[in-house]
Amino acid sequence: MITKEKPRMGMYENVKHQYEKAADLMNLTPAVRKILAITNNEIVVHFPVKMDDGSVEVFTGYRVQHNNALGPYKGGLRYHPTVDIDAARALATWMTWKTSLAGLPYGGGKGGIQLDPSKYSISELERITRRFTYALGDNIGPEHDIPAPDVNTTPQMMAWIADTYMSTKSTNERTKNAHVVTGKPVGAGGLEGRDRATGFGVVVSIKEWAKLKSYDLRGMRYIVQGFGNVGFWASHFMKQHGAILVGVQDASGTIYNADGIDPDQLIVYAQGNNHHISGFPQASEYPTSDFFALDCDIIIPAAMGNQITGENAETIKAMMIAEGANGPVDVEADSILFERNIDVIPDIYCNSGGVIGSYFEWLQNRNGELWQMDEVLTKLESKMGQSFKKLLNTANEFHTDWRTSAYIEAIRRIEQAYIQRGIFP
């Protein structure tokens, strides 16, 4: 008998499932429920770019704007072969919940280009980024929709976006537009600390969890999937708290050392190895498919969505998962983990340090200020501490899991804005 392959839930379906669960539980105002169930705008652009060899390639870029009830759309741009309208919708919707939960004056947007950046030269990537910015035109703007870095996009690319966008404005308007994008290099209007803000925030969330459970992070063993911006900085700060990194996975492979891997040595190795971790001499190779079953206390997924699934959730030995990535745990895995009493710190809280850092950068540019690193990290930690308290209180109020309570808390703020502005049941 031929059995059909079980269809995998798409990322947007995943978000909608989480949303419906929260909306039911909180008895969300029907009109608001309808509004939040759809995206406001979905922009798809096809644009030509000249390659180094003189040929022309046409690229497809996306920007989905989910909701702006609380302020301008905000969220990153991803350069990856998996970027499509479904992924952009899901990631934009998560941004709406994330910015609301963090108490920021923003809505949610996300986008990117479907491409594998490793196949292009740096000058091709510059032309692709500038052409994409030009194609988006006034669909982005410092008070309308503000992109930022995400997977495979860098501060350098954010600087190209700012430069291209600003060059489309009249001479006396140009410098007022630097906050069209965040995550820029410090010299080009970026914020001290935005580079590490997401990873730092992931560790703030882990510290909050440890405090709640009366655990000491010193000596705790953890593994990280993805050793890019989020994975590295999270590991760097975990090291400062005495936690031991025993396994790392990126797209090139998986490495393991029961005695510990030094993240600061690994990043130096990766920088000289095309940003890949495989072959790191102080660890051994490990089977990729067994990664999440490694013996450890904490898992930090910091790569792509739908990595912890109904297929591998049963094998997990860790007692907690801190979602550095967006959507790393699918719906099936979520209920398995809940039944197995494995804590999940949900993405819209866990990785919110990045957008909080972006908000500080936006304010810095808007007000013509320069903030110091210590000030940035202290303010970020305090904001995340406040959100964690809200998340716990709401979980108690509704007798629900942390993901659903984070959603309820986020949606409540948006519901209130709509009701106060005049959309009634």
Residues that bind ligand AKG (CB under 6 A): 74-76, 98, 148, 150, 182-183, 326, 351, 354-355, 358
Nearer to ligand AKG, 76 or 231 (CB): 76
325 binds, among ligand NDP, ligand AKG, none (CB under 5 to 8 A by kind): ligand NDP
Nearer to ligand NDP, 94 or 132 (CB): 94
CA within 13 Å, CB half, 5? 3
Q: Does the annotation flag 365 for ligand binding? A: no
Nearer to ligand AKG, 234 or 355 (CB): 355
Nearer to ligand AKG, 111 or 247 (CB): 111
Query: Measured between alpha carbons, how far is 402 from 30 in angstroms, rounded to an integer?
Result: 23
Taking CA atoms, 338 is separated from 98, 210, 380, in Å, by 21, 18, 29
Q: Identify residues 258-277 at the interface with ligand NDP (CB under 6 A).
A: 275-276
Nearer to ligand AKG, 206 or 266 (CB): 206
Nearer to ligand AKG, 365 or 400 (CB): 365
Q: Does the annotation flag 29 for ligand binding? A: no
Taking CA atoms, 371 is separated from 28, 148, 359, 360, in Å, by 39, 18, 12, 8
Stretch that binds ligand NDP, among 22-30, 63-71, 257-265, 301-309 (CB under 6 A): 301-309
Nearer to ligand NDP, 72 or 226 (CB): 226
Q: Does the annotation flag 352 for ligand binding? A: no
Q: Identify residues 138-177 at the interface with ligand NDP (CB under 6 A).
A: 149-152
Residue 196 CA to its chain's centroid (Å): 13
User: In a 10 Å sphere around its CB, with 0-12 CB exposed, 13-18 middle and 19+ buried, how is residue 119 labelled?
Assistant: exposed
Taking CA atoms, 146 is separated from 81, 140, 149, 396, in Å, by 23, 6, 11, 35
Does 244 sit near ligand NDP (CB under 6 A)? no
The nearest distance, CB 219 to ligand AKG, in angstroms, is 30
Closest CB to ligand NDP: residue number: 228
151 binds, among ligand NDP, ligand AKG, none (CB under 5 to 8 A by kind): ligand NDP
Binding-site member from 192, 208, 250, 401 for ligand NDP (CB under 6 A): 250
263 binds, among ligand AKG, ligand NDP, none (CB under 5 to 8 A by kind): none
- The CB density around residue 259, as the number of other CB atoms within 10 Å, is 8
Stretch that binds ligand NDP, among 22-30, 33-41, 46-54, 228-236 (CB under 6 A): 228-236
Taking CA atoms, 329 is separated from 139, 295, 302, in Å, by 31, 19, 11
- Residue 79 amino acid letter: Y
Question: Does 21 qualify as catalytic in the annotation?
Answer: no
Closest CB to ligand AKG: residue number: 76
The nearest distance, CB 397 to ligand NDP, in angstroms, is 27
Q: Catalytic residue among 16, 21, 110, 184, which? A: 110
Stretch that binds ligand NDP, among 19-27, 63-71, 213-221, 297-305 (CB under 6 A): 297-305
The nearest distance, CB 304 to ligand AKG, in angstroms, is 12
Stretch that binds ligand NDP, among 44-52, 320-328, 362-370, 374-382 (CB under 6 A): 320-328
Q: Which of 241, 178, 179, 232 is nearest to 206 (CA)?
A: 241
Q: Does the annotation flag 239 for ligand binding? A: no
Q: Does the annotation flag 207 for ligand binding? A: no
End-to-end Cα spacing for the chain: 51
Binding residue count for ligand NDP, defined by CB under 6 A: 26
Q: What residue numbers does the annotated binding site cover? A: 74, 98, 198, 229, 358
- Residue ranges for the known binding site for substrate are 74, 98, 358
Residues that bind ligand NDP (CB under 6 A): 149-152, 198, 225-231, 249-252, 275-276, 302-304, 324-326, 351, 354
User: Catalytic residue positions?
Assistant: 110
Residues at the annotated binding site for NAD(+)? 198, 229
